[in-house]
Amino acid sequence: MADWETILFTVLNSASVIVGSCANLLIIVSFFVINSTREPTELFLVSLSVADFLVCAVYQPLLVICFNNPDQLFNQPYRSTMLFFGYSLMTASMNGLLAVNFDRFVAIYLPYKYMTWITEVNTAVIISISWVISIATGILNCFKGKIPGVQVIVRLYTTIIIVLIPILYGAIYKEARKQARRIIEQSMAGARVLPNRRYLTDRATRGVGLVLITTLLCWLPLILSPAFLPNLKADEDGFLRGIWWCVTAGCVNSCINPFIYFYKFSKFRRNVGKLFQMIGINVSGRLPININEKRVNPMSQDPNPMETADGRAAWLVEEPAPQGT
């Protein structure tokens, strides 16, 4: 193994570990500490951010150690740990994307059912089920050599999700644009210029689409790896390096996602900003303020306490004229 390849692999993954762990942790902490209202779409994205945080903070360090010390693959506890986290977190990411797309599907196709179906309790149930499936997938892969058919079932499940998600989002995006154009044409009847096409879908749908495209592009080398990696099986060292580089491309996606949330979703931006504001207040020793309190423009407040509704009404009553005039 060339020294330059080892250095490049270690630096790339180490940078992803530091940046991705900090960015995802900011998204998660700011959401639960600052946020007062929790929308279902945001809960699904935060669940996805938890999976991304675990990829950056736990799985990628194991990957770096394994790349620099390939003999660790013969260490059964280490190998089982890598398999568990690798398959669990990859399945959690796929399940998270599927859950987000299901949320958008109901919002677009069944808007009247959305408020009753996608409640906070139902959202928590869906997230819990997706994580149970992910953990079960990781556990089963640790015993894939002992239980026949496990690897086939896991690959089939992952393949179905990878194929289903783009099809589902394509239908969502097409319907969202159609509904938005219909509303705009009805509200702007007679207008010659319609809004730009990029505004014909809501920002949440576009944000979810960007997350989906980035995820599929990053995971594409690993998805296509069964097609070209068998040619390297004669060279065992080259085969392992190819697998590790494909996995690294997928892990980099976990570093990119929090920046997409920050860019596309204004609530995440506000939460992170308020979190830094709260940290700055605590560090500087200033008096704490309620960062969730709605701010009121001081110029809109009446400085004179007499200038109330009752006070202004009293001034409208004509005062009696002085005696003797």
pLDDT in tens, the chain (325 residues): 567 888 899 999 999 999 999 999 999 999 988 866 788 888 999 999 999 999 999 999 998 988 888 787 778 888 888 888 988 998 898 899 899 989 988 988 888 888 888 888 999 999 999 999 999 988 888 776 566 677 778 878 888 888 888 898 888 888 888 877 777 777 665 555 555 555 446 677 788 888 888 988 888 888 787 776 666 555 566 677 778 888 899 899 999 999 999 888 888 888 888 888 888 888 876 655 554 555 555 444 444 444 444 444 443 344 455 555 4
b/e code 274-304 from CB counts within 10 Å (16+ = b): bbeebeeeeeeeeeeeebeeeeeeeeeeeee
Query: Can you give the pLDDT at residue 28?
Result: 93
**What is the C-alpha to C-alpha distance for residues 200 and 118, in angstroms, rounded to an integer?**
24
Token digits of residue 293: 């309190």
Query: Can you give the pLDDT at residue 58?
Result: 93
Q: What is the 3-state secondary structure (H, E, C) of the chain?
A: CCHHHHHHHHHHHHHHHHHHHHHHHHHHHHHHHHCCCCCHHHHHHHHHHHHHHHHHHHHHHHHHHHHHCHHHHHCHHHHHHHHHHHHHHHHHHHHHHHHHHHHHHHHHHCHHHHHHHCCHHHHHHHHHHHHHHHHHHHHHHHCCCCCCCHHHHHHHHHHHHHHHHHHHHHHHHHHHHHHHHHHHHHHCCCCCCCCCHHHCCCHHHHHHHHHHHHHHHHHHHHHHHHHHHHHHCCCHHHHHHHHHHHHHHHHHHHHHHHHHHHHHCHHHHHHHHHHHHHHHHHHHCCCCCCCCCCCCCHHHCCCCCCCCHHHHHHHCCCCCCCCCC
- In angstroms, how far apart are the furthest CA atoms of the chain? 119
Token digits of residue 85: 């986290």
Closest of 29, 97, 19 to residue 259, by C-alpha? 19
Query: Can you give the pLDDT at residue 158?
Result: 82
Rg of the chain on CA atoms, in Å:
27
